Structure 1
């Protein structure tokens, strides 16, 4: 089994991916700088189940540290990279666009340069459905024009895709760029809508809801996303952009209603106006991912939310065998 480097490996998606990679027998090198974007202890909690696994290596490195990153790739004989590390969130990117450009564009360039000089030639890059902007031609296809991002975050993810394609053309780094659609599940970042709503409903406290509730998202369970990433690692050839979503859309009002069903509690809603940078709709066309990866999301929203609720209620978490 090969050695996989996962940037942002202590984050939400990265920790779920790491667990699966270890179970499949891979060696995993996790690179994470434990930024204070949110409580670093949340990330430490993510990796507790496998921190002592003999095939797991945790390194506190910023992806912008190109020399250090290249040395890691060479020392651990890395065979492929999954690049998840990024500053996330549409609204914060509007407040601090320079940081997003620095980390998301500069950091991705650093990863690509490190791969180039270390001789690593396979990359899976986490892009975002936000690159589609307010495209009304749903479901969104990878061939759509994506030249009008509505936030700096979306712009940085589109720039990352373009850098990846450039490095494939120039340096032969084979890359699949995965446009991820609103990923949720246990361990989701605390400021994300579903985590925020779930905690407030359980606590019986009012929660801010932006807009009239008719905006809709393609909510995708994290283990379905992980399955798509794993398939991409196996299949990556050349350069491709692929949607990973559930191919189902749920309005904000429907989401809140489902959360009320799952928790058996009533949500206390504080309605606010729409926020700049938020789009009205996301909806993935996953035809291409089905064809190339055999990707087939299997988790319903109700199932996924139940699993999140169990995790919040401190359901036992089985550590990996060592």
Structure 2
């Protein structure tokens, strides 16, 4: 198959593209290599992909409709995996227009391309952030998600709504994945585990929000990629028994589906920090602060549906995953 991966120079995009090519697929990568975080890391990820003969790359912004459509004119694309997005909860408070351009305008362009070029399956990144002010744990895809607490979350919820519309109107199979705190080697420097490591190594103080009373469903990158790959040949067909009088938000009469993809084992932030300290061999200097605007106290994924439909089962412990990250970090940044 020819598989288009947007955000191919991103964290998840690089690992996914590599896995697909290891399994013999052709991958067409798209990324705008923006400077939200250090571009050298994105270029280094891209260099790993360019070692494969099955890889072709377009430096294109999804919001550039004409350039994006040209990719579909030049290539017969079977499946689209849309991972490109402006990420980050806190950044959305400072730069809201970046989220509109990438996550809304860009996503419409993805949907339109899938419509006009006969794409067999669209898999796209949503986020655990859509659960917003919900407090029932674990978060389930059958829960309503109508109370986002950040613009980032609102754009991801919007993606799910837009995808359903195209599934309804044009019979495009769409699968949304609500990612839960993905981590691992070559990850995003704006994520807590990465910035904590950088500061601990430099002897700087780390900021621990909500006085450390946070929990996250940290999910190792290899487990995430395994879940995505398992969905490639599981395009949703629509539920003929869908109850329109009592609709559930995670499926439809249309070929539309939303899954959680997480570790199903939330970790206390302070336990996470202690594990990081253990692998670094350094005790962190900590400053305890109140909750930040747009943040949530806990995330916890109910992954029963994804497990039932694909056999997905995450296997990487936080100790194993952070150990691999720290080993990579020391090598990449020449930390002795």
CA contact (8 A) 1:70 1:115 kept: no
| 1:69-218 matched pairs, under 5 angstroms | 69-218=68-217
Q: Of residues 272, 285, 291 in structure 1, which corresponds to 2:289?
A: 272
Q: CA deviation at 1:91?
A: 0.6
Q: Which runs of 5+ in 1 are unaligned?
A: 316-322
TM-score, scaled to structure 1: 0.95
Q: CA deviation at 1:230?
A: 0.6
Structure 1 equivalent of residue 248 of structure 2? none
Deviation by residue 1:110-129 (Cα, 9 ceiling, x = unmatched): 10001111221311010000
Structure 2 equivalent of residue 292 of structure 1? 309
Structure 2 distance, partners of 1:235, 1:121, is 11
Structure 2 distance, partners of 1:203, 1:305, is 18
Deviation by residue 1:182-218 (Cα, 9 ceiling, x = unmatched): 0000111111100011122222221122221011110
Structure 2 distance, partners of 1:257, 1:38, is 26
Q: CA deviation at 1:276?
A: 0.2
CA contact (8 A) 1:5 1:80 kept: yes
Structure 2 equivalent of residue 44 of structure 1? 43
Structure 1 distance, partners of 2:74, 2:51, is 20
CA contact (8 A) 2:134 2:147 kept: no
CA contact (8 A) 1:129 1:179 kept: yes
Structure 2 distance, partners of 1:249, 1:104, is 27
Deviation by residue 1:157-198 (Cα, 9 ceiling, x = unmatched): 000011111101111110110000000001111111000111
Structure 1 distance, partners of 2:317, 2:133, is 25
CA contact (8 A) 2:14 2:49 kept: no
Structure 1 distance, partners of 2:261, 2:73, is 31
Structure 2 distance, partners of 1:41, 1:263, is 24
CA contact (8 A) 1:184 1:222 kept: yes
Q: CA deviation at 1:236?
A: 1.7
Structure 2 distance, partners of 1:258, 1:184, is 14
Structure 2 equivalent of residue 18 of structure 1? 17
CA contact (8 A) 1:66 1:114 kept: no
SS of corresponding position for 2:211: coil
Aligned-CA RMSD value = 1.2
CA contact (8 A) 1:93 1:100 kept: yes
Structure 2 equivalent of residue 53 of structure 1? 52
Q: CA deviation at 1:16?
A: 0.6
CA contact (8 A) 1:84 1:126 kept: yes
SS of corresponding position for 1:48: helix
Q: CA deviation at 1:83?
A: 0.2
Q: CA deviation at 1:273?
A: 2.2
Q: CA deviation at 1:66?
A: 2.1
Q: Of residues 257, 264, 274 in structure 1, which corresponds to 2:274?
A: 257
Q: CA deviation at 1:312?
A: 1.1
Structure 2 equivalent of residue 318 of structure 1? none
Structure 1 distance, partners of 2:170, 2:62, is 20
Structure 2 distance, partners of 1:47, 1:77, is 22
Structure 1 equivalent of residue 241 of structure 2? none
Structure 1 distance, partners of 2:216, 2:228, is 21
Q: Of residues 320, 326, 329 in structure 2, which corresponds to 1:303?
A: 320
Structure 1 distance, partners of 2:40, 2:196, is 21
Q: CA deviation at 1:13?
A: 0.5
Q: How many residue pairs align between the two structures?
A: 314
